Structure 1
Amino acid sequence: MDETHIFSILFILVSFIIIIFNLFGHKKKRNVAPGPPSIPIIGHLHLLNGSIHRALQHLSSKYGPVMALQFGSRPVIVLSSASLAEECFTKNDIVLANRPRLLSAKYLDSECVTVGSAPYGQIWRDLRRIMSLVLFSTTKLKSYTRVREDEIRSLIKNLAKDSSFQDFAKVEMRSRIQAVSFNIVMIMVANKRYFGTDVEDFEEATKFKNIIRDVFEASGASNPGDFIAVLRWIDYKGYKKWLLKLQRESDGFSQNLIDEIRSRRSSSTPKGDDKTFIDSMLTLQESDPQYYTDNLIRGNLLSLLQAGTDTSSVTIEWAMSLLLNHPDVLEKARTELDKFIGKERLVQETDLPNLPYIQCIVNETLRLYPAGPLLVPHESSEDCTIGGFDVARGTMVLVNAWAIHRDQTIWDDSLSFKPERFEKMGNEGYKFIPFGMGRRQCPGSGLANRVVGLALAALIQCFEWERVDEELVDLSEGKGLTMPKEVPLEARCRARESMSHVLMEL
């Protein structure tokens, strides 16, 4: 017998011993969270029909607040209780600070170099600091107060044109509310307005709207290829091809914005409050061009538009829908406005601290209809325990904020719309997490609260509102990451006679 045969036999014997050891060897028994039976290859993906947050809540009601699932080849832990969310964002905050790599983030977030998708590390820390200081600091938000107030004045002015002081007029609200959110963020990012009557370049605005619409659709679409390798290899349903097309379009559009501002800076460099997000990033690029590349700027530009626009507009639409179904709450809010603001001027952002009931309405809307029903997925960077159960490294962790916000054990009459519940509450802690918690919570929560609060206050102060018929407004949830209403809101509004002189001035 030659050496080759001896080597082959030894290799087979060693391989056999390793297999036997793995099968029957003494291994530490892992305490795995409960979960439903899975199907080979696809795991539990077949159970995620309809709204994923509802499907997961239904499963959790059977298997508990810590539930183990398998999405294809990827292990998943689903958390549906406030105490477990607290454990995640305190004890395990660093361990769970990573993000799972998904195909949409690879192509739409410039290889995961955005504040939302970047893995936990130096790049993420740098981006988080930039967002906190350059875009969402108290000082920066204050400097853009006039922008937010101007956009909401524009909303009120357009509604006033379409209504009268005598008769109620039927108005479509979704597109009007979205225009406010997009214009506010675009002005902060690039000093551009793409919605309304004061648009300088309609062709550019139309291109922007089409790109953003497609990006939202792609980001909200489920992709089994993220969890089943063979579907990724064959490009199931052409998802990768679609993302590549969107990447080219969005990168081209974003690069044009960057080049335009770079060209403008060559003649005069903006200072202080005049600096947009792109200006600030280009300033950093001048000091470190290898780090702050155009690719990084493009990715974060698109990420800001995704995270900072649809979330606010969706919340305003849900809030108005709830108010139309609860006219007693609407009247109470109007009474607060008339008492503290009066009818001689339009409500301003500095008035919001004196309007606690308006904030209660915002909070109750976010509780029932959070713009992120499932928090952005986390991923464990090492083995850990959650709720006493072992969680392996590389596990995707989903926190079901929608389920926590409707948990009957921590919320009285949890399914009812009762803004008053927030009047007596202080720090709601981890039972109220519409913007997430921990080091990866949304940095734009301050901006969102300002936009939503001021828009609602102005709409209530200036108009009387009614449903289009006797039926309650449909509160069915549509598809998408931000849980939009399935049926866009339509309502009947009439300008308030007591606010006529204010509206006429607009």
Structure 2
Amino acid sequence: MLVALDPLSMEFLYYLLLNLFILFIILKVFSQVNKNKNLPPSPFALPILGHIYLYKKPLTRTLQSLSNRYGPILFLQFGSRPVLVISSVSLVEECFTKNDIIFANRPSSIAGDHLTYNYTIFAWSPYGYHWRNIRRITTIEIFSSKSLQMSAKIRKEEICSLVSSLFRRSTGGSSQHFNLKFMFSQLMFNIIMRLVAGKRCFEEFIMDLDEQKRLHTLSKEIFAPGMIFELGDFLPILRKIGYTEEKCQIKIHKSRDSFLQNLINEFRRKQIHSSTTTTGEDKKKKTTIIEALLSIQEAEPEQYSDDFIKGILLLMFTAGVDTSSLTLEWAMSLLLNHPDILQKARSEINHNVHDRLLEDYDLAKLPYLHCVINETLRLYPVAPLLVPHFSSEECTVGGYNIPRGTVLYANIGAIHRDPKVWTDPDKFMPERFEGVQGEKEMGFKFMPFGVGRRMCPGANLAMRVVALALGTLIQCFEWERVGQEQVEMHETNTGVTMPKADPLIAICKPYPSMVETLSQV
């Protein structure tokens, strides 16, 4: 039986069919264009939005599930931005050897426009003379072997302060629950602040409510690594109509800039005050990063502005605090879930260190401790997608054409758990790193600090801090979980780094053999 449609219904039906036809043509043309360009495999893309509809937090897991389906090289279109995702050893090697200079740049973003001093910060500066100059200065003044040796005393004193606080609170007669995420953040802020300005952020690890709020402000509102991209970076129209986090970025920048400028001004006042009382030999001695940078500025004030100095200081806080504190938290979480490995690490320390606290020079004699840290970084790399790269010109990767202006994500989190590369990839097994002499020996299958010319320059500093802190905590205290359940190992991902979803809470008590030593710290 046929039903007659009224003219209005017929008009709507024609309109609907016309729109579906137009949509079909657009999708057909779009797919044909991509096919002709010989682009890598790609999921179905919507007009204008591209693959934004596929995005879910954490981004690492989203990209991993897509790579599992489409292969180790994946091409996405996030709005107006082409994105390349690679998740195999061979593709990473190709990108960062044959195409290393092409991918040596960083993408621009709303956050970058406001938080990087016009992209002059080392991590975000375009590849070229300015970037090479900053790398030279930071290598000499901050990350050289001499500088690391000179800062050993600071690292030791701050770690002693942490264990002393734990000792006092864990010997009160009742079990104390310690928020290790909280304490590791304090530790790293104090170390970085002393390296930068010669003073501590927090005088005591036992803090009142006001100090806790200040730590939260520093770690979450001022010096958090933050988001690389937001929706407005992929859909520029959203920025034009004000539908972005731009106002928030401006507010964060003002807070950061004020904090850093105050540190610089404080040192300038000290220099003026001490200029008449300091001997010539003392003037040559630079004990903090600010002093060293101000000395460089004094020699060439036109080239090295205050913004240049603040950019380097900012990188120390944003890249130095969060990454090392998170690595410590992941490592302790794994050890609490694997008490046999915890005991093996302690036995190694006891065998090599007697009747005193662990020192920086002892670390070379503790290969298993380094295996524990490397295995932690394999399973839970702090930046599982690294900091994104950006192609400066068209190139080929894996036999596919990659357009100029493509954002590159190297999914090292996937490579670190690739069953083709690692045996039992999801198992915590530090022994797999035994006999490995340094990260370079692992090639492109282990890259917790990045790879190529843009890899993290502070890797040696981070490893020394983490090794000494973790080793001292293992040496001094017997650690237990809160309850019988395993520590949850779920992660969250809101920016560059990958923190634990739930802060690590643990119980500890000093080993009887360490009581006398700890009471003298």
TM-score of the superposed pair, with normalisation by structure 2: 0.88
Counterpart position of 2:10: none
* Paired residue type of 1:252: S
* Paired residue type of 2:501: E
Deviation at 1:210, TM superposition (A): 1.7
1:39-78 equivalent positions in 2, closer than 5 A: 39-78=46-85
1:71-470 equivalent positions in 2, closer than 5 A: 71-164=78-171, 168-197=175-204, 210-216=217-223, 219-220=226-227, 222-237=229-244, 239-266=245-272, 267-268=274-275, 274-342=286-354, 344-426=355-437, 427-470=441-484
Q: Deviations over 1:12-62 (max 9, x none)?
A: xxxxxxxxxx99xx9995321011011122211221202111110110111
What is the alpha-carbon distance in structure 1 between the residues aligned to residue 157 and residue 225 of structure 2? 31
What is the alpha-carbon distance in structure 2 between the residues aligned to residue 259 and residue 144 of structure 1? 23
Gaps of 5+ in 1: 1-21
User: In the alignment, is the contact (CA less than 8 A) between 1:84 and 1:387 conserved in 2?
Assistant: yes
What is the alpha-carbon distance in structure 1 between the residues aligned to residue 210 and residue 290 of structure 2? 21
User: In the alignment, is the contact (CA less than 8 A) between 2:324 and 2:465 conserved in 1?
Assistant: yes
Aligned-partner SS, 1:90: helix
What is the alpha-carbon distance in structure 2 between the residues aligned to residue 91 and residue 366 of structure 1? 26
C-alpha distance 43-502 of structure 1, shift in aligned 2 (>3 A): same
- Across the aligned residues of Structure 1 and Structure 2, the Cα RMSD in angstroms comes to 2.4
Q: Deviations over 1:340-393 (max 9, x none)?
A: 112x00001110010000000000000000111111111111111111111111
What is the alpha-carbon distance in structure 2 between the residues aligned to residue 271 and residue 362 of structure 1? 39
Comparing 174-183 with 353-362, which one deviates more in the overlay?
Answer: 174-183
Deviation at 1:300, TM superposition (A): 2.4
What is the alpha-carbon distance in structure 2 between the residues aligned to residue 271 and residue 387 of structure 1? 55
What is the alpha-carbon distance in structure 2 between the residues aligned to residue 332 and residue 429 of structure 1? 27
What is the alpha-carbon distance in structure 2 between the residues aligned to residue 274 and residue 394 of structure 1? 42
What is the alpha-carbon distance in structure 1 between the residues aligned to residue 225 and residue 338 of structure 2? 35
What is the alpha-carbon distance in structure 2 between the residues aligned to residue 284 and residue 248 of structure 1? 25
What is the alpha-carbon distance in structure 1 between the residues aligned to residue 73 and residue 454 of structure 2? 21
C-alpha distance 249-45 of structure 1, shift in aligned 2 (>3 A): same
User: In the alignment, is the contact (CA less than 8 A) between 1:194 and 1:205 conserved in 2?
Assistant: no
What is the alpha-carbon distance in structure 2 between the residues aligned to residue 413 and residue 218 of structure 1? 32
C-alpha distance 503-47 of structure 1, shift in aligned 2 (>3 A): same
User: In the alignment, is the contact (CA less than 8 A) between 2:382 and 2:497 conserved in 1?
Assistant: yes
* Paired residue type of 2:116: D
Comparing 285-294 with 305-314, which one deviates more in the overlay?
Answer: 285-294
What is the alpha-carbon distance in structure 2 between the residues aligned to residue 28 and residue 198 of structure 1? 59
* Paired residue type of 2:265: D
* Superposed structure 1 runs of 4+ greater than 6 Å apart: 202-206
Gaps of 5+ in 2: 1-28
Comparing 102-111 with 60-69, which one deviates more in the overlay?
Answer: 102-111
What is the alpha-carbon distance in structure 2 between the residues aligned to residue 187 and residue 449 of structure 1? 18
User: In the alignment, is the contact (CA less than 8 A) between 2:223 and 2:256 conserved in 1?
Assistant: no
Q: How many residues align?
A: 479
- Within the alignment, does 1:482 sit opposite 2:489 as a pair? no
Deviation at 1:169, TM superposition (A): 3.0
C-alpha distance 34-216 of structure 1, shift in aligned 2 (>3 A): farther
Aligned-partner SS, 2:298: helix
Deviation at 1:447, TM superposition (A): 0.6
Counterpart position of 1:5: none
Deviation at 1:120, TM superposition (A): 0.5
C-alpha distance 361-273 of structure 1, shift in aligned 2 (>3 A): farther
What is the alpha-carbon distance in structure 2 between the residues aligned to residue 465 and residue 64 of structure 1? 42
* Paired residue type of 2:243: Y
Aligned-partner SS, 1:69: strand
* Paired residue type of 1:101: S
User: In the alignment, is the contact (CA less than 8 A) between 2:482 and 2:507 conserved in 1?
Assistant: yes
Counterpart position of 2:506: 491
* Paired residue type of 1:372: A
User: In the alignment, is the contact (CA less than 8 A) between 2:224 and 2:318 conserved in 1?
Assistant: no
User: In the alignment, is the contact (CA less than 8 A) between 1:45 and 1:72 conserved in 2?
Assistant: yes
Comparing 481-490 with 146-155, which one deviates more in the overlay?
Answer: 481-490
Aligned-partner SS, 1:219: coil
User: In the alignment, is the contact (CA less than 8 A) between 1:162 and 1:171 conserved in 2?
Assistant: no
TM-score of the superposed pair, with normalisation by structure 1: 0.90
Counterpart position of 1:9: none
What is the alpha-carbon distance in structure 2 between the residues aligned to residue 167 and residue 198 of structure 1? 19
Q: Deviations over 1:213-255 (max 9, x none)?
A: 2145571375111111101112214x11111111112111111
Deviation at 1:482, TM superposition (A): 1.6
